[in-house]
Amino acid sequence: MSTTQLRRGEPVTTVLTWQVRPGREQEFEEWTHGITRCARRFPGNEGVSWLRPEEGHRFHAVLRWSDPDRLTQWLRSAERADWHRRIDGVATEVGSERQSTSGMETWFSLPGTTVQSPPRWKMVLTTFLGAYPLTVLIQWLVAPRTTTWPLLLRAAVFPLVLLPVLTYLIMPRLSRLLRRWLYRPPDE
C-alpha cells in the first residue's frame, strides 16, 4: 500500500529496508542512531525501531507517523536527504521493499519483507498474553471507579485504555520477545 492510498489523519507505519555492505555494519549502526534522533524530532514522528538481522546484511527500520502527510514530508525532507548522503557507499535503501500500512497488522507482520505473518493461532495467543493482564488491571483499578457512570461512557473506558497501551507498549515488546517462536520457519 502506498502512502497516497492511506487515509488522511490516520496513523501510519512504514518499513524501510536497507542493504548494508559486508564489513560496514558497525558504521551503519552508528548512522542509524543519528538518523533516528533526527526523525524523532520531526513533526508527526511517533517512533522508530530498527530490526537487525541475525544473519545477512538487510536491516529494517519501522517508522510510525501520526498521518501519511507528515510521513511524506519526512521522506522528502532535506534533513533525511542529508542523512542519506552520509551513508553513500555503506548501505542502500531497497526502495522496492518500502511499504506503509495502517492498523494492527503491524503487530505481527513486516510489510515489504519476506517475513511471513505468524499462524493465526499464534497471533491470537500472543494477543491474549498481552491483553489479559491489562484487562485484569483495568477491571481492578478502573472499573470500580466507573460503576455510577452511564453505560456508554463506562464501556468506552476499556478500549480507550486497552488499545493504545497494547498498540504502543505491549504488543511491540511482546512480539519482539516472542519473535523466534512467532516467526519460526515451518521446517523446524
| Of residues 30, 84, 21, the one with CA closest to residue 58 | 21
pLDDT at residue 9 tops 70: no
Looking at residue 9, the DSSP 8-state letter turns out to be T
| DSSP H/E element including 171 | helix 171-177
Q: Which residue is listed with cell 495502517?
A: 102
| Highest mean pLDDT of the ranges 39-43, 65-69, 93-97 | 39-43
State the pLDDT confidence band at 64, using cuts at 50, 70 and 90.
confident
Q: What is the pLDDT of residue 96?
A: 53
Q: What is the mean pLDDT of residues 48-64?
A: 81
- All three cell numbers of 4, joined, read 497516497
Q: What is the pLDDT of residue 178?
A: 85
Q: What is the pLDDT of residue 184?
A: 65
Q: What is the pLDDT of residue 6?
A: 44
Residue 118 has a CB neighbour count (10 Å cut-off) of: 20
Identity of the residue numbered 150: P
Q: What is the pLDDT of residue 90?
A: 93
pLDDT tens-digit profile of 96-113?
Answer: 545 555 445 555 655 444
CA–CA separation, 163 vs 172, rounded Å? 13
Q: What is the pLDDT of residue 119?
A: 73
C-beta separation of 12 from 68 below 8 A: yes
State the pLDDT confidence band at 57, using cuts at 50, 70 and 90.
confident
C-beta separation of 138 from 161 below 8 A: yes
| DSSP H/E element including 154 | helix 151-165
Burial (CB < 10 A; 0-12, 13-18, 19+), residue 153, is exposed
